[in-house]
Amino acid sequence: MTQRSVINIKGMTCMGCVNSVKNVLKNQPGIMAVDVTLEPAQATVQYEPGMVSLDRLKEAILDAGFEVID
């Protein structure tokens, strides 16, 4: 069963940033759908929890140079 989560992100300033976050999330295993918006700065991710964790998705965003706001 898929899970849907919204991750708030700090540090995105342009569509290039949005695309970077979208690409880094799409490359994770178990991702079904990704939508990243600049305003509000967040990613909505639908994923398979058995294949990837929410913490791993947040870590991927951090590794891409952005901040995650809990």
Residues whose CB falls within 8 Å of the CB of residue 18, separated by 6 or more in sequence, listed in order: 12, 36, 37, 38
- Considering the chain, what is the average pLDDT of its residues? 97
Per-residue model confidence as pLDDT tens digits over 6-32: 999 999 999 999 999 999 999 999 999
CA distance 69 to 8: 5
* pTM as predicted: 0.94
Q: Residue 15 belongs to what domain range?
A: 3-69
CA distance 23 to 44: 13
Per-residue model confidence as pLDDT tens digits over 25-59: 999 999 999 999 999 999 999 999 999 999 999 99
Q: Is the pLDDT of residue 70 over 90?
A: no
Where residue 37 sits, what CATH number does that domain have?
3.30.70.100
Domains: count for the chain: 1
